[in-house]
Amino acid sequence: MLGSTAAALNAQSAAISVTGNNIANVNNPDYSRETVDISDTGEVATPDGDVATGMSVTVEQERDSVLDAMVQQEASLTSGFTAQQSLLSAAQAGLGENITSNTTSTGTAASATNSGLSAAVDDFFNAFESVAASPTDTGEAQALVQQAGVLTDRFQEVDANLAQVQTDANAQVTSGVQTANGLLQQIAQLNTQIGALEAGKPGSAVDLRDQREGALEQLAALVPVTSTENAQGELSVTTTDTAGNSINLVSEGTVSNSLSYTGGVLQAGTTTLGVSSGSLQGTITASTGPVQTLRDNLNAMAQQMVTAVNAAYNPTGAAGGNFFNPTGTTAATISVASNLTPGTLTAGTGAAGDNSIAVAVANVANQTFSTANGDAINGTISSFYGGAVSGIGQALDTANTQVTDQTNVQTIVTNQRASVSGVSVDEEMSNLMTYQRAYQASSEVLQVVSDMLSSLIQAVQ
């Protein structure tokens, strides 16, 4: 009787301790609710009849491996879309344009409003129209040369902004790779600890398992991974290469392949990864995709601007007669010819008052170009630029929608897991009262047995 009563006290005490631990971790996102399984250890036959041997207490973790894997997958997708959204927002800001989206029967189209580079292009050609209207007005000539400087500065500024966005993206990926490698090492170390502690007691290292799951979810937010558990409770963590084959990252207590990032390529060991989610890939995708495409388009636009304006301004190709420096044909290098001043500006080729050159350059604004004819762009300069910025605008609109939708999906999955693994304070308080009363009842039984023994001893004496 004393033995079984003492075992009951110990069991209820353990249950109270576990419940208190659940309540203490109610706001811990990595924590999985623990429960106590109290079972009878059986009976033994004695001359006086069968006697209970007591009870055993087992602490179990309420965790669903399927839901854990779903949470990791959704976290990876959400992080990837969010990384793209962040980078594309920075690129749009770097344009210095207010990009509007217009819904039409054929879809959503983005366009640049009257600011930034688009305004500088319009002001440049408008300045040539003003010179054409007043070819001998030195004030108009000064305004044109000044506006040309504004245009080239705006090209260079936008390109520098986008280049900085890509530089920041590379730094983010490099930092993320270092974080991922640290998490891989942490998971490997936890594997070793769990394997040692759970020898003969599977699933007992609940706190270490919580830590490992937290590290695994942080890793999944960076790069998509899958995991499998062996009989010793140790995880193998894998990702995929470009052919969809599994690449081992962690095997039991060892990091098999660390991650690296070089030249825009994410690798595990010497193998190029073929992942499509996670913040690392999301950042790479946005940087090497829409942002690089925009820079390429700006370079083509700058090349066409220099070529077309110089051809109209210097139709004979005379040495030193160009408006723009002919060697600066990218957004980063476009510049006004070094010998161009308001005094050397040419409005026409004839007598004073001739405006033929100014008119020809002003007409470049409405000229339609074609790459099929050897031009650098298709369409007019303004329409080409509008299409270029629409690429970023539409990509950002898509990323915004993806982030919103995917966040909702992740919330649903997270809530599903919380219904299994999460801590409910109300439920724990109810359990606490149950265990407290059971402990009090066991204490009273122990007190009764103690009183009976005391009385028996006194009677014998």
Give the pLDDT confidence score for residue 200 in this predicted structure. 77
Give the pLDDT confidence score for residue 156 in this predicted structure. 96
Alpha helices in 314-424 (DSSP H): 356-363, 381-421
Average pLDDT over residues 338-360: 90
Give the pLDDT confidence score for residue 106 in this predicted structure. 38
Indicate the range of 113-122, 164-173, 237-246 predicted with least confidence: 113-122
Give the pLDDT confidence score for residue 402 in this predicted structure. 96
Instruction: State whether the Cα torsion 15-20-25-26 is positive or negative.
Output: positive
Give the pLDDT confidence score for residue 34 in this predicted structure. 77
Report domain extents, the chain: 1-61+422-461, 63-421
Given a cut of 70, whether residue 182 has pLDDT beyond it is yes
pLDDT band at 203 (very low <50, low <70, confident <90, very high): confident
Given a cut of 90, whether residue 1 has pLDDT beyond it is no
Give the pLDDT confidence score for residue 107 in this predicted structure. 40
Tokens 């390109």 correspond to 159
Given a cut of 90, whether residue 315 has pLDDT beyond it is yes
60: left (phi over 0), alpha (psi -120 to 50) or beta: beta
Residue 129's CB is within 10 A of a number of other CB atoms, namely 17
Give the pLDDT confidence score for residue 58 in this predicted structure. 76
pLDDT band at 12 (very low <50, low <70, confident <90, very high): confident
CA distance 13 to 207: 19
Residues recorded for the chain: 461
Average pLDDT over residues 142-164: 96
Given a cut of 60, whether residue 102 has pLDDT beyond it is no
331 contacts: CB under 8 Å, gap ≥ 6: 155, 156, 158, 159, 295, 298, 299, 301, 302
Given a cut of 70, whether residue 354 has pLDDT beyond it is yes
Give the pLDDT confidence score for residue 138 in this predicted structure. 92
pTM for the whole structure: 0.83
Give the pLDDT confidence score for residue 104 in this predicted structure. 37
User: Considering the chain, what is the average pLDDT of its residues?
Assistant: 87
Average pLDDT over residues 414-433: 83
What does the radius of gyration of the chain's CA atoms come to, in whole angstroms? Answer: 36
Task: Output b/e per residue, 385-401; b: 16+ Cβ within 10 A.
Answer: bbbbbbbbbbbbbbbee
Residue 101 bridge partners (DSSP): 110
The better pLDDT of the pair 6, 81 is held by 81
pLDDT band at 105 (very low <50, low <70, confident <90, very high): very low
Q: Which amino acid is at 335?
A: S
Q: What is the pLDDT of residues 330-345, one digit of tens each?
A: 999 999 999 999 999 9
